[in-house]
């Protein structure tokens, strides 16, 4: 029987996710600089940013369909190549289209990482899926913290954004090397003998469809707000990027302590509590000024902290037959929603500024007020989920079959 070093596989997975999150953190930190250097308006910046978000769902959904066929290792080789090409093209970008294509490649890389690593984590830790998905996904906010602090430091010492982006090559090369040396298991769905037709049938479960729709809202609440924080709050504080660093730092700590938190609250209750805090955080970010903005960032970070990994964990624990495609459709749906919302809000931002004769002092708060509607709707949705799950018997985990 083949054995796998699950600790090394998990660590390499975390490193690949670190590259994914560095791309978000560094891009968030240099977004305004790119606009200045290449004379791009907010609509163009939104189009570039959104490219990463729809490159992600393309890759994660396709990856979900083929991961059981080609294996997780081959998918991660593809992720490495996409990351390498995207980073290099960004460093040598010449304008809108090179930034657009390079961001698309990085989005494809990021989606491919999740397409392989989410089912890898659930296959390696079938007994603690939601906890380990939270531990894995702490490297997403962790990388954003590292990325934004790097941007601040390198800006202080006068080093350009090209070098800041180029730093991502270091962890990219390391994770590519590590994965090339390790053996991989098959996905949990394959190891348990669930048929392909059984997997697709499970995708039609009303609970899965409900969670898929909710993923639109949780992803927008977390990722749109975080990615655009430097733009939305630039007239409220001179250190808007520190707000992103602070709220993502809260997310790192929260996900690190996912195990005791999930002992206190089942996933559906945790999602409801998170949504209430996220709504409060967005409201405060759009209304308070001065030092209070940092308190708002902490509340927002506490709110969105558990969204992504707990959504995935809930689906995989309660609908295990959906397998890798279920996990990846959830991730793809979330990122696709963020890409569309980012484009719409980018145009809305420019419209607000034009209506105010070029004054953008109120544009950011107005965008945040519009976004607040989403977590308010989610409070109702997750409240209903909590009530529904009280009537439902606990789902039995899949059992591995001898092969």
Report how far residue 196's alpha carbon sits from residue 218's, in angstroms, rounded to the nearest whole number: 29
Convert the pLDDT of each residue in 264-299 to its tens digit: 999 999 999 999 999 999 999 888 888 888 898 899
Q: Where does 157-205 have alpha helices with state H?
A: 161-166, 169-181, 188-191, 196-202
Residues near 72 by beta carbon (within 8 Å), at least 6 away in sequence: 116, 117, 119, 120, 184, 187
Q: Write down the pLDDT at residue 403.
A: 37
Convert the pLDDT of each residue in 11-36 to its tens digit: 999 999 999 888 877 877 787 788 88
Helix (H) or strand (E) holding 323: helix 323-355
- From the list 339, 328, 298, 397, the residue with the least C-alpha distance to 54 is 339
Report how far residue 243's alpha carbon sits from residue 219's, in angstroms, rounded to the nearest whole number: 19
What is the arithmetic mean of pLDDT over 309-338? Answer: 91
Q: Write down the pLDDT at residue 357.
A: 74
Grade residue 68 by pLDDT with cuts at 50, 70 and 90. confident
Convert the pLDDT of each residue in 368-378 to its tens digit: 899 999 999 99
What is the arithmetic mean of pLDDT over 170-192? Answer: 88
Are the CB atoms for 23 and 168 separated by under 8 Å?
Answer: yes
Grade residue 387 by pLDDT with cuts at 50, 70 and 90. very high
Answer whether residue 206 shows pLDDT above 90.
yes
What is the arithmetic mean of pLDDT over 374-396? Answer: 91
Convert the pLDDT of each residue in 74-96 to its tens digit: 999 999 999 999 999 989 988 88
Contacts of range 191-197, beta carbons closer than 8 Å, 24 or more positions apart: 191/123, 191/400, 191/401, 191/403, 192/320, 192/398, 192/399, 192/400, 192/401, 193/401, 194/321, 194/323, 194/398, 196/68
Helix (H) or strand (E) holding 261: helix 258-264
Answer whether residue 42 shows pLDDT above 70.
yes
Q: Give 64-122 as a 3 state SS string.
A: HHHHHHHCHHHHHHHHHHHHHHHHHHHHCCCCHHHHHHHHHHHHHHHHHHHHHHHHHHH
Question: What torsion, rounded to 10 degrees, do the Cα atoms 290, 295, 299, 300 define?
Answer: 40
- From the list 377, 340, 343, the residue with the least C-alpha distance to 43 is 343
Are the CB atoms for 62 and 147 separated by under 8 Å?
Answer: no
Averaging pLDDT over each range in 48-62, 71-85, 193-207, which range is the top one? 71-85
What is the arithmetic mean of pLDDT over 29-56? Answer: 81
Token duo for residue 224: 């749109």
Answer whether residue 401 shows pLDDT above 50.
no
Q: Per mean pLDDT, which range of 83-97, 226-240, 373-387 is the poorest?
A: 226-240
pTM for this model (two decimals): 0.83
Residue ranges and CATH numbers for the domains of the chain are 6-390 (1.20.1250.20)
Grade residue 226 by pLDDT with cuts at 50, 70 and 90. confident
What is the arithmetic mean of pLDDT over 131-156? Answer: 87
- From the list 73, 104, 116, 76, the residue with the least C-alpha distance to 335 is 104
Residues near 164 by beta carbon (within 8 Å), at least 6 away in sequence: 26, 29, 30, 150, 151, 154
Convert the pLDDT of each residue in 244-273 to its tens digit: 778 888 999 999 999 999 999 999 999 999
């Amino acid at each position: 029987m083949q054995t796998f070093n699950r600790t090394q596989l998990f660590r390499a997975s975390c490193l690949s996710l670190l590259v994914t999150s560095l791309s978000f953190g560094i891009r968030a930190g240099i977004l305004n600089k790119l606009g200045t250097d290449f004379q791009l308006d907010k609509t163009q910046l939104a189009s570039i940013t959104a490219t990463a978000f729809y490159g992600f769902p393309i890759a994660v959904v396709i990856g979900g369909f083929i991961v059981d066929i080609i294996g997780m290792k081959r998918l991660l080789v593809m992720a490495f190549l996409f990351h390498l090409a995207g980073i290099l093209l960004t460093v040598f970008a010449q304008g809108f289209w090179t930034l657009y294509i390079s961001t698309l490649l990085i989005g494809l890389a990021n989606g491919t990482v999740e397409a392989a690593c989410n089912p890898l984590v659930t296959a390696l830790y079938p007994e603690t899926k939601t906890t380990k998905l939270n531990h894995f996904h702490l490297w997403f906010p962790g990388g954003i913290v590292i990325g934004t602090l790097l941007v601040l430091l390198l800006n202080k010492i006068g080093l350009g954004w090209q070098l800041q982006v180029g730093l991502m090559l270091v962890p990219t090369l390391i994770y590519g090397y590590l994965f090339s040396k390790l053996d991989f298991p098959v996905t949990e769905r394959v190891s348990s003998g669930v048929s392909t037709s059984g997997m697709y049938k499970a995708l039609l479960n009303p609970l899965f469809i409900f969670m898929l729709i909710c993923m639109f809202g949780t992803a927008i609440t977390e990722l749109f707000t975080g990615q655009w924080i430097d733009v939305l709050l630039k007239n409220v504080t001179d250190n808007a990027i520190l707000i992103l660093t602070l709220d993502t730092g809260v997310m790192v700590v929260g996900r690190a302590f996912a195990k005791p938190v999930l002992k206190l609250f089942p996933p559906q209750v945790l999602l409801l509590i998170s949504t209430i805090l996220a709504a409060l955080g967005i409201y405060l970010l759009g209304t308070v000024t001065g030092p209070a903005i940092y308190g708002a960032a902490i509340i927002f970070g506490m709110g969105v902290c558990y969204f992504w990994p707990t959504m995935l964990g809930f689906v995989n624990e309660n609908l295990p037959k959906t397998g890798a495609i279920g996990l990846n459709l959830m991730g793809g749906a979330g990122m696709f929603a963020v890409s569309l919302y980012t484009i719409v809000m980018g145009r809305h931002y420019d419209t607000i500024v034009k209506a105010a004769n070029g004054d953008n002092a109120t544009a950011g708060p107005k965008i945040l007020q519009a976004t607040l509607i989403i977590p308010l709707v989610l409070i109702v949705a997750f409240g209903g989920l909590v009530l529904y799950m009280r009537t439902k018997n606990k789902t039995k985990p899949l059992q591995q079959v001898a092969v």
